[in-house]
Structure 1
Amino acid sequence: MGLYTNFIQTDRQEKLFLQAERLAHKIKERRKLADQAAEMPYDNLQDLRQERFLSLTLPTTYNGEAISLYEFLLVQEKLAEGDGATALSVGWHLGVIKELSEENLWEQDMFAFIANEVGQKQKLVNRAATEPATGSPARGGIPETKAVKQGHEYIINGRKTFTTMASVLDYFIITAYVEHEKAIGSFLIPKDVQGVKVEKTWDTLGMRGTGSDDLVLDQVRVPSHYLVELSEKPKKPAPKGWLLHIPACYLGIANAARNDVIQFAKEFKPNSLNKPISEVDHVRQKIGEIELKLMQARYFMYSIAEKWDQHPNNRANLMKELAAVKVVATNSANEIVDIAMRIVGGRGLSRLLPFEQYYRDVRAGLHNPPMDDMVVQMLAKNAFS
């Protein structure tokens, strides 16, 4: 278990870890395929379903495992060692389900419906909120997607960008401006409703395997009770522990780079040396730097997750720590992969080795919310208040 020895504390955590490890081995074999096709391989999704991975964050009453935040991060980090894009993708699904399970955002009958779809059928769900004009929802833009009520239905028109796993999702939770309410609402939309279309637009440098294409909604009709959330005014930002799946994923990529570069250093012996480069001082110095950065970021992340799980009444006070974990973890992960690339040298740019994909995929973490500038400003404001 190596890297995880100090973080697996119970038999249940070990069982979850071994499940994630099995899946990581399987999806690792398709990592290049996902990168080339710019979408999650269907076989990855089938493996996740067979292991009942998609219901881990559901309550046990809905055939879930009700995993804690700490356990969620443990499996996410390990899964990302196999393929960061698949881990990040399924992390959004698991995080959304965890949020709905714990925060009572929906009417009970609608939550029971989606919970049964996930728990019994291993259906896949994600939110779609980002739009071309509004950018990140975290910045507070009003959706240009519009929902107009007509009798007992809503007619929805709009376009969503960065819709992770768009082509394989079973349900979308989309944000829209509800005109007669003059408010922002969220609608549950099944993939097979007429007017729902996925447009292949995802052609990025890294995290290509998330398949985050555009979702186009053209005269989509849904029953009025599929309006599952409504907010007349912007909500006060609240801490969302489940978003730590993002730093866990990028640290998983860093772990993979760390493991592979150590193996490379043990095996690579240039003809200018009579020993492998693992015995060269400056290489050992760089490996030590990797270990230190990993240790700092991982202990920080798991300690905050423990606080979240063990002290639920104090969660409101963890906003800045949760945001700081994301910034520290994603920046550390980028630094770790960069050091690994320096050890490998020019060979690291070859697609025959995994390092160039780690290098591309890990960059995406810098652009996941919350952004560094927002977090630093929040910390400064807190310091001066």
Structure 2
Amino acid sequence: MRDDLVVAGIDLSGVVARLAAAAPAADAAASFPREGVRAVHEAGLLEWAVAARYGGRELPLGDLARLAAGLGRGDPSVALISLMTLFAHRQQAIGNFWPDTLYRRVLAEGGRGPVLLNAARGEPELGSPARGGLPRTRARRTGRGWSISGTKRFVTGCEGLSYILVWASTDETPQRVGTFVVPGGAPGIRIVENWRSLGLRASGSHDVVFDEVEIDRDDVIGLTPADIAGQDNRAHAAITLVVTALYLGVAEAAREAFLAFAEDRVSANLGYPLARTERFIALAGEIDLLVSGARQIILGALDHAADTPDTLLRARLLAGRQIKQAVQLAVGALGNPGLSRDTALERHFRDVQSVLVHAPQEDTVIALLGRGAFAAVTDTSRPDRLPAA
């Protein structure tokens, strides 16, 4: 039993092995990872963030990150799809935002198969909500409840979602903004299969079009006035750090692939494995320093500073940069074999490129930290000295 694959007292090694076995085929076909999702569901992992008051484990953030790293080691696409569901459950655990009847219905459906949830927020015109703005997607009042129309981008796992949590603006005066709970199979939903990313090919983060999709009046979360509905990037710092942990798992898998190659490869002119050469010993040490250091950064921040957003934002960038550097180092050391589709390292290299792509993006975080640094030493009576956010 590996200690880093034991989360909340549960050994994940069997689940991770199932994910790793199915991942290459799903990646090659860029197809929805049904086998991996099935494995996660059968292990009960999709409900690990459900609140204790609903009979769930209500895992703390540090353990969610450990879970993310384990799943990411097997298949980061499955890890990302799973995290979106876990985050939705965590939102209910900490804030009780869902209508209770609706949420209990969602939990009950989990007994019949995987119930996948994801928030659909990005839009073609808006881009990422992390950069400001309100959704163009509209929720129109009807006799039954609401009719949803609009287009959402990068809806991870959309082909298998049980419910899509659609961020939309109402047609009311004054306007409100909220999250509308739309069944994944509702009439009027169309998936535009345009996810052609370098990595996480099996995540199926396609565009989704909603054309007058009808939902009940009460199937909505957190309606607020439009003038206070912007995204608070600091408030999401812990969640984005947990997402970074899934890429830690990718880097750990890449480290294992590098070490296995070095152990197995016997150069004709040496007569012994590359793992016995000083160069590869030093490379293994550098990679371990970066990967293990990233694990310490992520878990240390979440375990001990989960209520300090700027600490979490710094941890995300530091760990993310180390994760990318470690995998780049492994691929560069192997040369052509590292970029061959015959090795797992090539897939890990592609997948890890997305580590700092998730909102808020790297430049947004750097700007937040920079403004905070200036604010700490700037006379508060001279706010004009700071550039506008």
Query: Does the TM-score normalized on the shorter chain lie above 0.5?
Result: yes
The Cα of 1:308 is off from its aligned counterpart by: 5.0
SS in structure 2 at match of 1:367: coil
Partner of 2:30: 38
The 1:116–1:243 alpha-carbon spacing in structure 2 relative to 1, beyond 3 Å, is farther
CA distance in 1, matches of 2:216, 2:186: 11
Which runs of structure 2 are paired with 1:110-259 in the superposition (5 Å)? 110-118=102-110, 122-180=114-172, 181-232=174-225, 233-235=228-230, 237=232, 238-240=234-236, 241-259=238-256
1:183 counterpart letter in structure 2? R
The C-alpha deviation readout for 1:185-224, integer Å capped at 9, x for no partner, is: 2100012221112221111111101011111101111111
CA distance in 1, matches of 2:281, 2:359: 34
The 1:54–1:129 alpha-carbon spacing in structure 2 relative to 1, beyond 3 Å, is same
Partner of 2:8: 13
CA distance in 1, matches of 2:209, 2:303: 40
CA distance in 2, matches of 1:334, 1:348: 15
Contact 2:165 2:181 in 1 (8 A): yes
The Cα of 1:230 is off from its aligned counterpart by: 1.3
Contact 2:136 2:168 in 1 (8 A): yes
SS in structure 2 at match of 1:205: coil
CA distance in 2, matches of 1:100, 1:36: 36
1:28 counterpart letter in structure 2? A
Residue 376, structure 1, aligned to residue 373, structure 2 = no
CA distance in 2, matches of 1:332, 1:264: 21
The Cα of 1:236 is off from its aligned counterpart by: 6.7
CA distance in 1, matches of 2:112, 2:235: 30
The Cα of 1:117 is off from its aligned counterpart by: 3.5
The 1:236–1:202 alpha-carbon spacing in structure 2 relative to 1, beyond 3 Å, is closer
The 1:336–1:326 alpha-carbon spacing in structure 2 relative to 1, beyond 3 Å, is same
1:65 counterpart letter in structure 2? R
Residue 4, structure 1, aligned to residue 7, structure 2 = no
SS in structure 1 at match of 2:149: strand
SS in structure 2 at match of 1:35: helix
Q: Pick which of 356-365 and 192-201 moved more.
A: 192-201
Contact 2:123 2:151 in 1 (8 A): yes
Partner of 1:338: 328
Number of equivalences = 370
2:263 counterpart letter in structure 1? K
CA distance in 2, matches of 1:37, 1:236: 35
Contact 1:58 1:119 in 2 (8 A): no
Structure 2: stretches of 5+ with no match in the other structure: 376-389
Partner of 2:83: 91
SS in structure 1 at match of 2:304: helix
Residue 65, structure 1, aligned to residue 57, structure 2 = yes
SS in structure 1 at match of 2:260: helix
The C-alpha deviation readout for 1:263-311, integer Å capped at 9, x for no partner, is: 11111111121221112222222111111112321111111111256xx
The Cα of 1:136 is off from its aligned counterpart by: 0.9
The Cα of 1:112 is off from its aligned counterpart by: 3.2
Structure 1: stretches of 5+ with no match in the other structure: 310-314
TM-score (norm 2): 0.90
The C-alpha deviation readout for 1:66-88, integer Å capped at 9, x for no partner, is: 11111111111111111111112
CA distance in 1, matches of 2:315, 2:259: 26
The Cα of 1:120 is off from its aligned counterpart by: 7.1
Contact 1:161 1:214 in 2 (8 A): yes
Q: Which residue of the other structure, out of 2, 8, 16, is the alignment partner of 1:24? A: 16
Contact 2:2 2:13 in 1 (8 A): no
1:224 counterpart letter in structure 2? R
CA distance in 2, matches of 1:380, 1:145: 33
The C-alpha deviation readout for 1:118-138, integer Å capped at 9, x for no partner, is: 477541111111111111111
The 1:337–1:84 alpha-carbon spacing in structure 2 relative to 1, beyond 3 Å, is same
TM-score (norm 1): 0.90
Partner of 1:312: none
SS in structure 2 at match of 1:65: coil
CA distance in 2, matches of 1:159, 1:236: 19
CA distance in 2, matches of 1:101, 1:121: 22
Q: Pick which of 119-128 and 193-202 moved more.
A: 119-128
Contact 1:239 1:319 in 2 (8 A): yes
When the two chains are superposed, the root-mean-square deviation of aligned CA atoms in Å is 2.0
Residue 280, structure 1, aligned to residue 280, structure 2 = no
Contact 1:257 1:355 in 2 (8 A): yes
The C-alpha deviation readout for 1:296-343, integer Å capped at 9, x for no partner, is: 21111111111256xxxxx2xx11112122212221111111111022
Contact 2:170 2:176 in 1 (8 A): yes
